[in-house]
């Protein structure tokens, strides 16, 4: 029997040669820690992330301190920790009180957030999806008029801890509304890390059919070890924006069992090995992960954080 050799498809024909990483460890990471990290520890972590070359960092949340006491020092942190030239600091903002607090600190960017599933949205922000969109229609346009950039999150896109499967149409409807309100980019969250690659392909293709690729980012939690596989699928389809958390720290306190975002070191290691530029220095990023571990006071789960870098090609 003769075996015919067929040409292999070029999987990465659409993939970009450069990606942008949006670092969430000071917010998504620290919000989920059982201990409250002192302000100077948060500043050390942010400084180390900047030194590693990260240019977009979500540093805190202007949410209710009763709901997330870990980030109750948001004003002080944002007021006194200024980004150097070329770096943007952002923070979560759920409502007009949050916007008022953000504006008072001089921060350049905020992120509004909601879920594609009704039950998670209710548990996380104490409102229905429609009421949350109503709140955002009252805060996003004034925030933009005041000179802020506004990013949006849609959570539970890959699945909800309370309702199970979530239809991509529900996420798309919300994402389009947030873009209409003026959000420059929507980060699609696999909040509980249940996404798998074919599902990711379907979701990303559905979004690509409705909006330009730079309008959305992937925010993959690595709860079940599939975050990088999902990132790779996104990359193959041309996605250029990925959220990540140094050391893999994080999770949503209102999503039971949620673990951290894809570790920034793992993401940068993979991108570097594939020749995709990130602007991040991996050795300094590993240092930042060590700072995160010292500040948090427990071992962090990131793979490259634990194993160290490996030079893929001889120098």
Query: Where does this chain bind ligand HMG (CB under 6 A)?
Result: 28, 31, 61-64, 67-68, 92, 94-95, 97-98, 101, 113, 124-126, 153, 155, 189, 191, 219, 221, 252-254
153 binds, among ligand HMG, Mg ion, none (CB under 5 to 8 A by kind): ligand HMG
> Tokens 């995160």 appear where?
292
Residue whose CB is less far from ligand HMG, 81 or 117 = 117
User: Which two three-digit tokens encode residue 181?
Assistant: 């309100």
CB of 24 to ligand HMG, least distance (A): 7
Gap between the Cα atoms of 114 and 118, Å rounded: 9
Residue nearest to Mg ion (CB): 28
67 binds, among Mg ion, ligand HMG, none (CB under 5 to 8 A by kind): ligand HMG
Q: Which residues of 244-256 are buried (b: 16+ CB within 10 A; e: fewer)?
A: bbbbbbbbbbbbe
> Tokens 């909040």 appear where?
191
93 flagged as catalytic: no
CB of 167 to ligand HMG, least distance (A): 16
User: Which two three-digit tokens encode residue 235?
Assistant: 């990359």
CB of 219 to Mg ion, least distance (A): 6
Residue nearest to ligand HMG (CB): 189
CB contact at 8 A, 77 and 59: yes
Of the residues 93, 160, 183, 252, which is catalytic?
A: 252
CB of 62 to ligand HMG, least distance (A): 5
Residue whose CB is less far from ligand HMG, 77 or 276 = 77
What residues from 55 to 74 belong to the interface with Mg ion (CB under 5 A)?
A: none
CB of 129 to Mg ion, least distance (A): 18
3-state DSSP of the chain? CCCCCCCCCCCCCCCCCECEEEECHHHHHHHHCCCCCCHHHHHHHHHHHHHCCCCEEEEEECCCCCCCHHHCCHHHHHHHCCCCCCCEEEEECCCHHHHHHHHHHCCCEEEEEEECCHHHHHHHHCCCHHHHHHHHHHHHHHHHHCCCEEEEEEECCCCECCCECCCHHHHHHHHHHHHHHCCCEEEEEECCCCCCHHHHHHHHHHHHCCCCHHHEEEEEECCCCCHHHHHHHHHHCCCCEEEEEHHHCCCCCCCCCCCCECEHHHHHHHHHHCCCECCCCHHHHHHHHHHHHHHHCCCCCCHHHHHCCCCCCCC
Residue whose CB is less far from ligand HMG, 63 or 183 = 63
98 binds, among Mg ion, ligand HMG, none (CB under 5 to 8 A by kind): ligand HMG
158 binds, among Mg ion, ligand HMG, none (CB under 5 to 8 A by kind): none
User: Which two three-digit tokens encode residue 152?
Assistant: 């949006």
Residue whose CB is less far from ligand HMG, 124 or 199 = 124
What residues from 17 to 46 belong to the interface with Mg ion (CB under 5 A)?
A: 28
What residues from 140 to 159 belong to the interface with Mg ion (CB under 5 A)?
A: none
CB of 298 to ligand HMG, least distance (A): 19
Residue whose CB is less far from ligand HMG, 122 or 290 = 122
Number of residues that bind Mg ion (CB under 5 A): 1
Residue whose CB is less far from ligand HMG, 68 or 262 = 68
What residues from 209 to 228 belong to the interface with Mg ion (CB under 5 A)?
A: none
Which residue ranges make up the site for Mg ion (CB under 5 A)? Answer: 28
Question: Which residues form the catalytic set?
Answer: 252
């Amino acid at each position: 029997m003769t075996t015919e050799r067929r040409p292999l498809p070029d999987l990465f024909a659409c993939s970009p040669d450069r990606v942008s990483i949006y670092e969430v460890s000071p917010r998504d990471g620290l919000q989920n820690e059982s201990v409250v990290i002192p302000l100077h520890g948060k500043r050390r972590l942010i400084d180390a992330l900047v030194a590693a070359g990260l240019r977009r960092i979500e540093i805190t949340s202007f949410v209710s301190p009763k709901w997330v006491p870990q980030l109750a020092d948001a004003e002080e942190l944002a007021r006194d920790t200024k980004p150097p030239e070329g770096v943007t600091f952002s923070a979560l903002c759920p409502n007009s009180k949050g916007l008022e607090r953000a504006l008072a600190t001089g921060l350049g960017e905020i992120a509004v957030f909601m879920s594609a599933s009704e039950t998670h949205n209710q548990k996380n922000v104490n409102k229905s999806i429609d009421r949350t969109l109503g709140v955002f229609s009252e805060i996003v346009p004034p925030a933009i008029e005041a000179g802020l950039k506004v990013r949006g999150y849609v959570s539970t896109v890959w699945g909800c801890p309370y309702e199970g499967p979530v239809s991509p149409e529900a996420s798309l409807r919300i994402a389009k509304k947030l873009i209409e309100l003026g959000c420059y980019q929507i980060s699609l969250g696999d909040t509980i890390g249940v996404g798998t690659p074919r599902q990711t392909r379907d979701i990303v293709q559905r979004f690509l059919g409705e909006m330009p690729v730079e309008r959305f980012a992937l925010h993959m939690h690595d709860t079940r070890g599939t975050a990088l596989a999902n990132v790779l699928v996104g990359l193959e389809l041309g996605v250029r924006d990925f959220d990540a958390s140094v050391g893999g720290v994080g999770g949503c306190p209102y999503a039971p069992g949620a673990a951290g975002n894809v570790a920034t070191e793992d993401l940068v290691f993979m991108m570097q090995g594939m020749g995709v530029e990130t602007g991040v220095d991996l050795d300094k990023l590993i240092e930042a992960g060590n700072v995160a571990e010292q500040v948090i006071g427990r071992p962090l789960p990131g793979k490259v954080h634990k194993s160290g870098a490996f030079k893929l090609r001889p120098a």
